[in-house]
Structure 1
Amino acid sequence: MIQVNGLFDDKDHIITEQKGMFSIVEHTRDLTVSPITAMEEYFMAKMDVRRKQILCTLDGSEGVTVQAGAMQWMAGNIQATTGVKGAGDLFGKLAKGFVTKESAIKPEYVGSGYLMLEPTYKYLLLEDVSEWEGGLVLEDGMYLASEGSVKLKTQARNSVSSAVLGNEGLFNLKLVGEGIAALESNVMRQQLVEVVLNNDVLKVDGNLAVCWSGSLEFTVERSGKTLVGSAVSGEGLVNVYRGTGRVYLSTLDDSTSMYSSTLTKTVKNE
């Protein structure tokens, strides 16, 4: 029997969301600071910039697949496997990792007990893969973990132009099946914009889509019907998602953070 103290019964750690075997543990405050970092940690806490972790509760009925290197500690009768089922499967995983820029081998943990993943300042999303038409397609670096019933596949772009002109790779990681997936996002869920398409079109200027339904067709097109029209609008090329499905947009992109950082430096210099 496992007894974990200082986690579930501590006001400094709260569980903010739970789906399937995953729980999001948020550290409400970090008191292990030095005089040099105390002020920084104080203002981070005021802005709800807190460390978060994924806690996986395994009951022996199903395993969990985790991003390589993400495990922090595990307690109970849990064994780690490579998930490789032969030479052919190994080759397939290596090829998949190469084209999606993800780690080729993601360990799978089976058994019963607790598995805690490494803390992160990024925002954690728990998504039911079965609710996404055609599977859940992810941007690079978002995948953290998924239940064993979720399969990891690749989704190719609809055309070479969508990869070259859209500043994207040729392939994305796609999750299919039934189960929960844990994702890392640079933007909190409350500030993600969800666009639901019903046989319609979404055009986005830049790489603001963090994940989308596998049923959608992705292309890169001119923002106007003609080259002159695109030049007049000032947009040029846009990413286009067409069909029926959903898209999560991170409208607060990195340019906002870069602007804020530049503004702060300017104010200090003045």
Structure 2
Amino acid sequence: MQYELKGTFLQTVDITLNAGESIYTESGGMAWMKGDIEMRTGAKGGLMASLGRKLAGESLFLTTYTCRSGQSLVVFAPEAPGKVLDFHLADGQTLICQKDAFMCAEESVKLEIAFRKRLGAGLFGGEGFILQKISGPGVVFLEIPGEVREYTLAAGEVIQVDPGHIALFEPTVDYDITMVKGVANVLFSGEGLFLAKLKGPGKVWLQSLPLSNLAAKLARYIPTSK
């Protein structure tokens, strides 16, 4: 399999498959394709795995594209302006991602749901409550709205983030939710009641544009019936 990320802020992933090679995505994730390609849609991993993916923001069914002969091209496009990240995961290597981050991957990559273990993160984390767990081996592509910033946290190092700005992190990073201190900060800062606390060691990827923020902004300009 060969691939190329094309574009800047509305990227595509152009994947060239050789005979016998496959790539899978959520239903509706493919933009265009050419060549001798077999398309199979089903509940990959069984019913429980499918229900877990649904809770994590993905489709109940996944579609696999397999090149039957020669070379074939399959192109995937993100649902919102932003960046596409590619990761070559080793066997057993794992990433914890926001829901809706998964774009497509080789068949050897496993996509699961990941609940936060701590009560605070679960009750107050908002978008961070239900996450995606992606495990290797294989290549996976993630779609992240907005620009992406990567930080490497040392052991014990902490970064505080609005939960909606967390794109993904390594499983070695400790994730919890803390309450904003100070009445004035809570009432007038506009940042909400809670912040996510990410504690190293490990890598963290943050996004500049949570989809919830974009949706709220656009909603102001959508006419409503009276």
- What range describes the TM-score normalised by the shorter chain of this pair? 0.7 to 0.9
CA distance in 2, matches of 1:139, 1:22: 24
Which of the residues 7, 20, 25 maps onto 2:6? 25
Aligned AA for 2:126? N
Structure-2-length-normalised TM-score:
0.75
Trace 1:133-172 onto structure 2 (pairs within 5 A): 135-168=94-127, 170-172=129-131
Aligned AA for 1:68? S
Aligned to 1:108: 64
Aligned AA for 1:187? G
Aligned to 1:194: 150
Cα deviation, residue 242, structure 1: 2.5
| Greater helix proportion | 1
CA distance in 2, matches of 1:198, 1:119: 32
Does 2:205 align with 1:248? yes
- Structure 2 runs not aligned, ≥5 long: 221-226
- Is 1:126–1:180's contact at 8 Å kept on the other side of the alignment? no
Deviates more, 1:146-155 or 1:167-176: 167-176
- Structure 1 runs not aligned, ≥5 long: 1-19, 27-47, 224-228, 263-270
CA distance in 1, matches of 2:214, 2:77: 27
CA distance in 2, matches of 1:221, 1:24: 37
CA distance in 2, matches of 1:170, 1:120: 21
Cα deviation, residue 83, structure 1: 5.3
Cα deviation, residue 148, structure 1: 2.0
What RMSD, in angstroms, separates the aligned Cα atoms of the two structures?
Answer: 3.2
| Greater strand proportion | 2
What SS does the corresponding residue of 2:154 show, helix, strand or coil? strand
- Is 1:129–1:136's contact at 8 Å kept on the other side of the alignment? no
- Is 2:43–2:50's contact at 8 Å kept on the other side of the alignment? no
CA distance in 1, matches of 2:194, 2:74: 44
Aligned to 2:172: 215
Distance 1:162 1:83, change over 3 A: same
CA distance in 1, matches of 2:3, 2:49: 25
Distance 1:95 1:252, change over 3 A: closer
Does 2:26 align with 1:67? yes
CA distance in 1, matches of 2:55, 2:102: 15
Percent sequence identity is 21
Cα deviation, residue 245, structure 1: 1.4
Aligned AA for 2:104? A
Aligned to 1:237: 194
Cα deviation, residue 92, structure 1: 1.9
Deviations 1:167-225 (A, max 9, x none): 1364211111132222222213xxx22121222222213421111112322211235xx
Does 2:133 align with 1:174? yes
CA distance in 2, matches of 1:74, 1:253: 29
Aligned AA for 1:106? L
Cα deviation, residue 97, structure 1: 2.3
Which of the residues 48, 52, 55 maps onto 1:99? 55
Identify the structure with bigger relative contact order (alpha carbons < 8 Å, sequence gap 6+): 2
Aligned AA for 1:155? A
Distance 1:73 1:160, change over 3 A: same
Aligned to 2:224: none
Aligned AA for 1:238? L
Aligned AA for 1:218? Y
Structure-1-length-normalised TM-score:
0.65
What SS does the corresponding residue of 1:164 show, helix, strand or coil? helix
- Is 1:216–1:243's contact at 8 Å kept on the other side of the alignment? yes
Cα deviation, residue 256, structure 1: 8.9
